[in-house]
Chains A and B, each alone.
Chain A
Amino acid sequence: MKTDRELIEEFQRGSDAAFNELVRKYLDLVYGFFQKITSDKMEAEDLAQTVFIKLFKALKKFRFESEFNTYLYRVNVNTANTYFKRNKWRNMLHLDQVPDTGYVETSREKEWRKEEVWAAVGRLPTKQRLVVMMRISQALPFKDIGNILDITEGSAKVNYHHGIKRVKLLLGNNQ
């Protein structure tokens, strides 16, 4: 089986088949990432498609200064960030429209919907949002998150701490 580097080099020499092989290799990872962020399968597929179109353009000039994995995560995160920005107002509205069922849930009973969580994450400042997004959806170690976002491991931890605190508040969990 060819390595990522070999596939990218082949693609840079003009082989679309090599790019398709890369798509096959990373489709589950990319689609899985967006599936956790959106509640709509079609939207997740569209976002995955956006990522691969970006890669198709960018890999032609890829200089292997970073690992392809890290680079792919960066593209994923940036695409997700754009998606959050685009849906910020919509998410805010969703978060504020809590249906009144006349039943008061205790914090232990409460289970959140994915949309609620992402709407809250979408309201965080950019860096906190990115760190929280990667941590809760991909369970990535802080060291990897730091590498992807080009920040230190400590900074990733601090941003996560502040971000998660705010998400907790927004979701109304005061445990």
Chain B
Amino acid sequence: MNFEAKLRKTFSSDGEILDPDQFINKLTSARYAQALKRSQVISGYLALTVILFVGIFGFNELDQGAILMEGNYYYSTSTDFDQGEDTEYFNDLALYIIEQEEDIWMAFSFLDEVEYDNIINIMEEES
């Protein structure tokens, strides 16, 4: 007997048949299970993306305006107001001071005070 025939003989005894109906049932369940798993993985990824997005967005929002002074973070409370209107108001005030007092340094010191006033107050309260 040649080598090839001998090899084939190794497999000759096989020939069991599966029940097609049973196999189809198992196949259908396996397909559904796979589809379910796939949809779970997809929704998992979606949820993760949303959490990451909200996390990054939230962190950026909270992080805005934080000023580090003497190892502590201080947050400007001026974000409670409309930033645009606020700036315009202070600019007008500064112009008014320059026109009235004719002293530009006074206007600078006023703007400086406005910017750091809240922080200085907080620091004073803490000490």
Contact = CB atoms under 8 A, between A and B. Distances in A.
Given A36-B14, A112-B10, A139-B8, A24 B24 contact: yes
The main secondary structure of chain B at its interface with chain A is helix
Contact of A53 (B6, B15, B34): B34
Given A49-B30, A53-B27, A164 B3 contact: yes
Interface stretch (A5-13, A27-35, A68-76, A151-159): A27-35
A20 to B, nearest CB: 5
B27 A32 contact: no
Most buried by A among B4, B8, B11, B16: B11
A31 B14 CA distance: 11
Contacts of A168: 3
Nearest to B9: A111
B18 A175 contact: no
A32 B7 contact: no
B4 A136 contact: yes
A136 B8 CA distance: 6
Nearest to B2: A175
A173 B14 CA distance: 23
| Interface footprint category on A | 20 to 34
Contacts of B62: none
Nearest to A25: B20
A111 B10 contact: yes
A31 B4 CA distance: 22
A27 B16 CA distance: 12
Given A28-B17, A49-B26, A53-B31, A113 B3 contact: no
A164 B2 CA distance: 12
Contact of B23 (A23, A114, A139): A23
Given A48-B23, A49-B23, 19 more contacts: A20-B24, A23-B20, A23-B23, A24-B24, A27-B18, A28-B18, A31-B17, A35-B14, A35-B15, A45-B18, A45-B23, A49-B27, A49-B30, A52-B27, A53-B27, A112-B10, A136-B8, A136-B11, A167-B7
Interface of B: 3-4, 6-11, 14-18, 20, 23-24, 26-27, 30-31, 34
Nearest 4 interchain pairs by C-beta: A36-B11, A24-B20, A136-B7, A35-B14
